[in-house]
Copies of this chain bind each other. A is one copy, B any other.
Amino acid sequence: MLSEFSLIDRFFARRATAPAPRHDDAAARPLGIGDDCALIAPPAGHQLAISTDMLVEGRHFFPDVDPYALGHKSLAVNLSDLAAMGAAPHAFTLALALPRADEAWLEAFSNGLFDLAQRFDCALVGGDTTSGPLNICITVFGDVPYGAALRRDAAMPGDDIYVSGTLGDARAGLGAIRGEWHAAEGAEWRRALEFPEPRVALGLALRGVARAALDISDGLAGDLMHILKRSGARAIVDADAVPCSEAVRALPESARRQCTLAGGDDYELCFTAPPSARDTLADIAIRVQVPLTRIGTIESSGAPGIAWRDASGAPLSLMLQGFDHFHAD
């Protein structure tokens, strides 16, 4: 068994990069891992966007998950929160409870984590490890200029509603593993479940273009409601316009809608923007190489709610349940 300190050092501290300096004053030099605290600051005219997520075995991942994928996903879900805010990744802390110091597991986990961190110049600046049931808690820090953050409370009547990429593959993968439907597309779906891609470049491109935004972690229906509640608005959404992969499209209608409208773990962005932004958004979709699909409209201020429509415009009555940790499911 490795001691706590040599374990941290070998797999994490040695691979931690220094946070980027933001200031000419040498006294303002950032400080990474190894002291009681890290020291960082946003650049002038910026705030730090901060998000924290905790991942637990059996709830967020299967006991047999590939540890490389787990390292990736643990950071990806946090980077997705930065993307949803229009913030540029800067640094993160990692707290890790492990049932045992398994070197092969730690090597793969840390590889998955740092491969993603390095792609986004995101430095590990602090952490904690302890023995205990497997639990991964990451807190991430990003930079956003004053007033540029994409907040949930900024949707306006008349705004278009968009989603990025396709929805439902992660939920379809979960269903295939659970035997809810046929698993011919299992490998592709499982990849969507295990290797979500945080839409960081898209989030940055949406600054000053989108109004409200968030990332879809718990399913479109539930997450869009967060925007509607905080913005005091209603939405009309074309359920059949919600983009999905060919494989999800091939599922029976009820399964497809469960996956696309209420499936969690997609980590695509849902955002609103005025109709005047349509051309700009078409350009952004090409530039960041992420499809953007218009799925509905912010209807009016008032009691928050979603009016679902099908492709013909006819009202749909859907029974959808978002992902909720303390509901029986």
- Inter-chain CA distance A230–B47, complex, in Å, is 31
Tell which of A51-59, A250-258, A285-293 binds the partner: A51-59
Residues B35 and A152 in contact, CB atoms below 8 Å apart: yes
| A317 touches B (CB below 8 Å) | no
Residues A149 and B4 in contact, CB atoms below 8 Å apart: no
CB distance from A210 to the nearest CB of B (A): 13
| A129 touches B (CB below 8 Å) | yes
Interface residues of A in 151-174 (CB under 8 A from B): 151-153
Given the interface pairs A59-B132, A135-B97, the reply to whether A125 lies near B39 with Cβ below 8 Å is no
- Inter-chain CA distance A205–B46, complex, in Å, is 29
| A209 touches B (CB below 8 Å) | no
Chain B residues within an 8 Å CB radius of A27: 146-147
Chain B residues within an 8 Å CB radius of A13: none
Measured CB to CB, the residues of A under 8 A from B are 1-5, 7, 23, 25, 27-28, 30-31, 34-42, 46-60, 81-82, 84-85, 87, 93-97, 101, 125-133, 135, 137, 139, 141-142, 144, 146-147, 149, 151-153, 213-215, 230, 324-328
Residues B3 and A81 in contact, CB atoms below 8 Å apart: no
CB distance from A87 to the nearest CB of B (A): 6
- For A81, the closest partner residue in chain B by CB is B36
Q: Which of B3, B49, B326 is the one whose CB lies under 8 Å from A39? A: B49
- Inter-chain CA distance A82–B94, complex, in Å, is 17
Residues B36 and A4 in contact, CB atoms below 8 Å apart: no
> 18 A-B contacts, Cβ less than 8 Å apart?
A27-B146, A28-B147, A36-B213, A36-B214, A37-B50, A39-B85, A39-B144, A50-B93, A50-B141, A52-B95, A52-B127, A54-B128, A56-B130, A56-B133, A95-B137, A101-B326, A129-B325, A133-B133
